[in-house]
Amino acid sequence: MKRDPLIRRDKVFAVLPTALTLGNGICGFGAITFASRWANYDTPTSLFVASCLIYLGMVLDAFDGRTARWVNQQSEFGAQLDSLCDAITFGAAPAFLMIQFSVTYGYHPRLLWMVGALYVVCTVLRLARFNVESDDGGKHPKDFTGLPSPAAAAVVAAFPMMAFGPTVLADPAYDNMWGPEIGSALDWVAARVLPIVTFVAAGLMVSRIRYHRHLLARGRGDGPAIIRLVFIVMMIAAIPRVAAPLLSCWYAFATPAQLLWERYPRRWFARPALSSVPGDEGREAG
């Protein structure tokens, strides 16, 4: 009795989303192993490759859900598997990468470990909350509540990528904005700032701030999205070395910064100036 080829093809398609999800988890494990310098690579190569693997995990994570919907193979098993792999790639791997990157620039290892542990905890809480919020009808919300864990991981991984990209790629055009002295100073600042950025990103993941699902999410009309797209392309072409940190930080911190501006300074500047106390005009006229 011959098996129906359509059934065999459906089984192959059913495996594809799971394979992409597992590939995401493997990228996270690879990022941890490279960041630990297990293969005797030098520090720039190890940390740069670890950063790239985190970004590759983001790509696989973006396609596994779409692939599951495309082949109509969505399941509770796939959702839970996706969260487990995300906890590795976007939780443990960025935290360990941050420790390995900043420990050589004067930070106390225990302090870095505490920041990394907080980041992992916030990532797990963020993923658990996302699963609970997505259980209602199986539909993802239009906006995210709190900073998505892949975006937080992109922020952390962008700094080692910026610091060691010119060394690993050996491309002068990649570092055409400044000389070696300014580049070294920029790397020192990046290593100093990264633990603080990681701490803030951890807090934003468990916040209630609403984030758009995409960096180019449309507002009222297509104008703002087109302007942002042109700005992103120009930034990547003009300053490729700092494009990843700037774009990832833009997505992560622009929304809370706007909310703080609207809540405090903007209200203070918008208050009408009291030119005189009520009743002074009558006394002056009298």
Q: pLDDT tens, 147-189?
A: 999 999 999 999 998 888 766 766 555 554 555 666 677 778 8
Class in CATH terms, 5-213: mainly alpha
Q: Are 252 and 260 in contact, with CB atoms under 8 Å apart?
A: no
pLDDT of residue 218 exceeding 80, the answer is no
**pLDDT digits 0-9 by tens, 245-267:** 988 998 899 889 988 888 766 56
In the block, tokens 């975006």 appear at 151
Q: Which residues contact 279 (CB under 8 A, 6 or more apart)?
A: none
Q: What is the pTM of this model?
A: 0.80
pLDDT recorded at residue 105: 73
Distances (CA, A) of 208 to 13, 21, 68, 130: 36, 27, 28, 12
Integer angstrom CA distances of residue 138 from 15, 81, 94, 134, 141: 20, 15, 29, 6, 10
Q: Tell me what the pLDDT averaged over the chain comes to.
A: 80
